[in-house]
């Protein structure tokens, strides 16, 4: 699963706040955003990204996840 | 709507026929059931086919569909529960039961979002409880029908594997919105709070609740990237300057007190996705909604289930309906 670092960083830092459908993604993103409040330099970015990619990959057959992946790809 | 509350003789027959069941009932009712492929949690409150009901004799039955390929029942202690997502089938779902007011309840509430493989597959369920008249006299329990064990401090999970042409999804209905009031943040995560930040200003939360005359039947609401997640008030201890909750607040999260709800059933009906109601395989709702909205005898259209001491949809929730749907994979 290819997800743009630029898009994901915008989402994780709150520069972009798209609406997602998949409940587990909403919970995970919220936890990661709280981590990032203590890690504004995003030193743990690769771990954060891996958690998101793993979650989406494991649920890639769900229509809500497919929509959310498209949403992430649409973040510029 | 199919009947969902059954007497123990009927449920015993289902068990003896080899059905896989996820049960809710009063302790005395569950204790009458034979061994088999089932787990159950204690509670005598239900949204049944005829509406909200208190029933100590009958058992709420969720019969797992016959197309489920495999099931496995696992009893988890606090340490083991962190593997609950990893243990799930790749295509399936997991139904969980945790006894209220146990250390595993508190641990799950604080740590579930950090569990390895979080969200790998839907984890849905509830916190078992007791009749409110029995609070302090009887402990909430979970029953493992496969070996007859009864626990006060273990979680029970029935992991279910779906065939390739089916998928499960988990979602919530929360009718509460963040109100227009103050932004409340907590200095540490936990089940109670004394000093909090209100719009960035430090103050005692119990004093604040009293001064503002907050209606504590309405929860605090956090915005989880678009999902509204509630924290319900359990007690405002003015003497000790402490507010106790039914779920942990999290450090750094921004909460606001919920807007008032005028008619729960009307709001609930409007929030329920109408295209999903015939696909719901399991749902549960909160005892605080049952009590505060006076749901006894009232129907929540298309939705039944146990009325619980906490709902689980990947993590612990309060005053929320959690529901699992099973659908066909589109061709």
Q: pLDDT per residue over B11-20, tens digit each?
A: 999 999 999 9
| pLDDT confidence of residue B281 | 94
Neighbours of B61 (CB within 10 A): 21
| pLDDT confidence of residue B264 | 80
**Of A38, A59, A61, Cβ closest to residue B119:** A59
Average pLDDT over residues B53-76: 97
Mutate to test the interface with B, among A8, A21, A24 (most CBs of B within 10 A): A24
| pLDDT confidence of residue B208 | 97
Q: Give Cβ neighbours of residue B162 (< 8 Å, ≥ 6 apart).
A: B67, B68, B69, B89, B91, B92, B93, B168, B326
Q: Using 50, 70 and 90 to split pLDDT, how confident is the model at B202?
A: very high
Q: What is the C-alpha to C-alpha distance for residues B283 and B172, in angstroms, rounded to an integer?
A: 9
Q: Is the complex ipTM higher than 0.90?
A: yes
A75 in contact with chain B, both atoms CB, cutoff 8 A: no
SS3 B107: helix
- B5-6 and B59-63 beta bridge pairing: antiparallel
User: Which residues 3-62 of A are in CB contact (within 8 Å) with B?
Assistant: 17, 19-20, 23-31, 33-34, 37-38, 51, 54-55, 58-59, 61-62
Q: Does B329 contact A33 at a Cβ distance shorter than 8 Å?
A: no
Q: Does B225 contact A33 at a Cβ distance shorter than 8 Å?
A: yes
Q: Does A26 contact B227 at a Cβ distance shorter than 8 Å?
A: yes
At residue B287, φ and ψ (nearest 5 deg) are -65, -25
pLDDT in tens, A9-29: 999 999 999 999 999 999 999
| pLDDT confidence of residue B293 | 85
Q: Does B224 contact A58 at a Cβ distance shorter than 8 Å?
A: no
CA distance B261 to chain A (A): 24
Is B128 within 8 Å of B142 (Cβ atoms)? Answer: yes
| Low-confidence winner among A37-46, B179-188, B259-268 (lowest mean pLDDT) | B259-268
**Of A27, A54, A58, Cβ closest to residue B224:** A27
Radius of gyration of chain B (CA): 19
Mutate to test the interface with B, among A23, A31, A53 (most CBs of B within 10 A): A23
With contacts defined as CB-CB under 8 Å, which chain B residues touch A28? 113, 118-119
pLDDT in tens, B213-267: 999 999 999 999 999 999 999 999 999 999 999 999 999 899 999 999 888 888 8
Average pLDDT over residues B85-105: 97
At residue B145, φ and ψ (nearest 5 deg) are -65, -20
With contacts defined as CB-CB under 8 Å, which chain A residues touch B174? none
CA distance B314 to chain A (A): 7
CA distance A28 to chain B (A): 7
Q: Does A24 contact B329 at a Cβ distance shorter than 8 Å?
A: no
SS3 B85: coil
Helix (H) or strand (E) holding B27: helix B27-30
Residue B273 pLDDT exceeds 80: no
Neighbours of A74 (CB within 10 A): 10
Residue B1 pLDDT exceeds 70: no
Average pLDDT over residues B25-36: 98
Dihedral sign for Cα atoms in the order B190, B158, A54, B275: negative
Q: Using 50, 70 and 90 to split pLDDT, how confident is the model at B275?
A: confident
């Amino acid at each position: 699963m290819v997800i743009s670092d630029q898009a994901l960083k915008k989402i994780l830092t709150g520069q972009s706040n798209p609406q997602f459908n998949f409940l587990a993604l909403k919970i995970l993103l919220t936890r990661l955003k709280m981590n990032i409040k203590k890690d504004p330099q995003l030193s743990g970015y690769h771990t954060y990204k891996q958690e998101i990619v793993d979650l989406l990959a494991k649920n890639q057959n769900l229509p809500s996840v497919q929509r959310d992946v498209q949403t992430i790809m649409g973040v510029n | 709507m199919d009947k969902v509350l059954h007497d123990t003789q009927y449920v015993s027959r289902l068990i003896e026929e080899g059905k896989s069941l996820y049960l809710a009932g009063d302790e005395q009712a569950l204790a009458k059931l034979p061994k088999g492929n089932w787990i159950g949690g204690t509670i005598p409150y239900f949204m049944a086919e005829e509406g909200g009901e208190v029933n100590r004799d009958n058992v709420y039955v969720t019969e797992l569909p016959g197309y489920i390929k495999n099931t496995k029942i696992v009893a988890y202690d606090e340490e083991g529960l962190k593997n609950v997502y990893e243990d799930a089938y790749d295509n399936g779902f997991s139904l969980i039961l945790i006894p209220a007011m146990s250390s595993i309840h508190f641990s799950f509430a604080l740590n579930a979002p950090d569990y390895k493989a979080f969200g790998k597959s839907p984890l849905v369920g509830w916190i078992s409880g007791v009749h409110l008249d029995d609070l302090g006299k009887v402990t909430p329990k979970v029953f493992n029908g496969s070996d007859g064990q009864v626990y006060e401090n273990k979680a029970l999970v029935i992991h279910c594997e779906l065939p390739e042409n089916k998928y499960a999804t988990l979602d919530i209905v929360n009718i509460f919105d963040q109100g227009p009031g103050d932004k409340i943040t907590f200095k540490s995560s936990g089940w109670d709070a004394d000093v909090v930040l209100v719009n960035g200003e430090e103050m005692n939360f119990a004093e604040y609740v009293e001064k503002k005359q907050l209606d504590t039947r309405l929860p605090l609401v956090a915005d989880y990237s678009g999902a509204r997640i509630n924290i319900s008030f359990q007690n405002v201890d003015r003497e000790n300057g402490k507010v106790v909750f039914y779920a942990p607040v999290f450090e750094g999260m921004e909460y606001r007190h919920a807007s008032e709800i005028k008619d729960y059933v009307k709001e609930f009906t409007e929030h329920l996705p109408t295209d999903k109601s015939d696909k719901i395989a399991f749902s549960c709702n909160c005892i605080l909604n049952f009590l505060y909205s006076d749901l006894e005898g009232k129907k929540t259209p298309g939705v039944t289930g146990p009325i619980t001491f906490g709902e689980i949809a990947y993590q612990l929730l309060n005053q929320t309906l959690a529901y699992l749907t099973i659908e066909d994979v589109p061709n």
